[in-house]
Amino acid sequence: MNAPCPEHPLEALLAGELPFDEAERVQHHVDSCAACTQSMAWLKLERGWMAQRARRAPHRRALDFSALEARLASAQALRARTQGRWSHQGKMALGAIAALLFIVFNVTQQLPPTPAEDAWGLEAWSVPAGETCVDPTREAVAAIEARVGACLVATPVVLSIAR
């Protein structure tokens, strides 16, 4: 049993999509092939039917441009509102970022430097002795420290300098 001939070239022939030489070759084959003659008849039927069907499609109100205009107008208004909102929100966001940066800048100016930032800064050398024990567990160990007579929690370096 032979493999069926592909329909694609026949369809292309019918749609006028083939160059002249190719069209002639396909037509010559169709003329001598029963299966392709039948396929061709079905393809013509299909195209003819679809064309008639398209012509008969009912006229719908939705296909009048006037019916679409109102929707286009409201879609455009919505787009404009959304863009306006984004633009407004963009300004608000910029303001918020600027305010945040200002606060962060000020706070960082007031905060003592972290060890990583300024481990060898002059400030470390001038910390008063009373402020060396800044550990939050200070109260908990205060009694022990009092008994021992030494600061047990603070940074050893600072402690040694303070002493």
Partner 1 sequence: MSRWDVAFLSAVKMAMVSVIPSDTDRESTLLRRARAGDPAAFRTLFERHAPAVWRFLRDLLRDEAAADEATQETFVRAHGRLSALRDGDRLGAWLLGIARNVYLETRRRRGMTHVDVDDEAHEGQVEAVLPTPSPEDLLLDRELEGLLAEALGALREERRAALLLRIDHGLPYEEIASVMGWSLPKVKNEIHRARLQLRERLADHVGGHS
Which one of the spans 41-49, 80-88, 106-114, 126-134 is the region binding partner 1 (CB under 8 A)? Answer: 41-49
Residue 80 neighbours by CB distance under 10 Å: 10
In the set 38, 89, 108, 160, which binds partner 1 (CB under 8 A)? 38
Residues 29/7, Cβ–Cβ less than 8 Å: no
Pick out residues in 53-82 that bind partner 1 (CB under 8 A). Answer: 53-58, 60-63, 65, 67-68, 71-72, 75, 79
Q: Which is nearer to partner 1, 35 or 94 (CB)?
A: 35
**Residue 86 burial (C-beta neighbours within 10 Å; 0-12, 13-18, 19+):** exposed
Cα–Cα distance for residue pair 57/130, rounded to 1 Å: 94
Contact footprint for partner 1 (CB under 8 A): 4, 7-8, 15, 17, 37-38, 41-42, 44-58, 60-63, 65, 67-68, 71-72, 75, 79
